[in-house]
Structure 1
């Protein structure tokens, strides 16, 4: 399965995600990042010579390739309306490419499982939102070249 058109539209409308990695000693780390989604991969990047030294790049360069992204927003507090997508994936890096902020070095995240909630933007009501869970198939080998 893959992301729905509604999920892709929502992700492309949001400028910031929270990106979680794990260090070599098991310490989780989460950081807000600008991101791109090209309908196959998420791209998390940076510009400048020091980008490979950032915690997110160091963590992925080690043996911890499992990562998570959360893309969300709070539409309203009264009534309470929240929308969200959580993505588990496998990270690889570095990739040199031109992103939304220009040329830079990027981590490529292949989604493995995702959950989305309330992309219609409805009030929560008396119960929490039901989640849509999707297991993502890896892209075909020719897409990796």
Structure 2
């Protein structure tokens, strides 16, 4: 399965997210990142020194599993939150022209995703129900 048109539009209009990787000692690490969605995969990185960052070092150390969250808080009153959480597999650095210019990027292939409240509705009697999508194995 793939992302819905509504999810794709959301991901393309929200270029900031949080990426979690895992260090060789098992320590999770989450950082804010600029994220580009091409309709199938996510791209994180840019610049020539990005491979020295912890997120790139963690992937290079042999654990390609990542988690990515792209979300926003539309309003506190009424309470309106929406977002997409993605589990995926990151690949070795790739040189390309990306949203932050030419540089080295990590390509993330989604395996499972959960989205909630793409319509931007206020929360009701119960919390938002998530839409789960299996994109592949993982």
TM-score bracket for this pair, using the shorter chain length: over 0.9
**In the alignment, which residue of structure 1 is the partner of 2:33?**
33
Q: Matches of 2:12 and 2:50 in 1, distance apart?
A: 24
Q: CA deviation at 1:46?
A: 2.3
| Conserved 8 A contact 1:2-1:137 | no
**In the alignment, which residue of structure 1 is the partner of 2:63?**
64
Query: Gaps spanning 5+ residues in structure 1: where?
Result: 139-145
Deviations 1:51-102 (A, max 9, x none): 1110000001011110000000000000000001000000012100000111
TM-score of the superposed pair, with normalisation by structure 1: 0.92
**In the alignment, which residue of structure 2 is the partner of 1:100?**
99
Q: Matches of 1:66 and 1:137 in 2, distance apart?
A: 13
Matched, 1:109 2:99: no
**In the alignment, which residue of structure 1 is the partner of 2:4?**
4
Q: CA deviation at 1:40?
A: 1.5
Q: Matches of 1:118 and 1:7 in 2, distance apart?
A: 10
Q: Matches of 1:90 and 1:81 in 2, distance apart?
A: 30
Q: Secondary structure at the match of 2:29?
A: strand
Q: CA RMSD in A?
A: 0.9
Query: Gaps spanning 5+ residues in structure 2: where?
Result: none
Poorly superposed stretches of 4+, deviation over 2 Å: none
Aligned length: 137
TM-score of the superposed pair, with normalisation by structure 2: 0.96
| Conserved 8 A contact 2:81-2:117 | yes
Q: Matches of 2:28 and 2:107 in 1, distance apart?
A: 19
After the TM superposition, which residues 1-145 of structure 1 pair with which residues of structure 2 at under 5 Å, given as runs? Answer: 1-48=1-48, 50-137=49-136
| Conserved 8 A contact 1:85-1:114 | yes
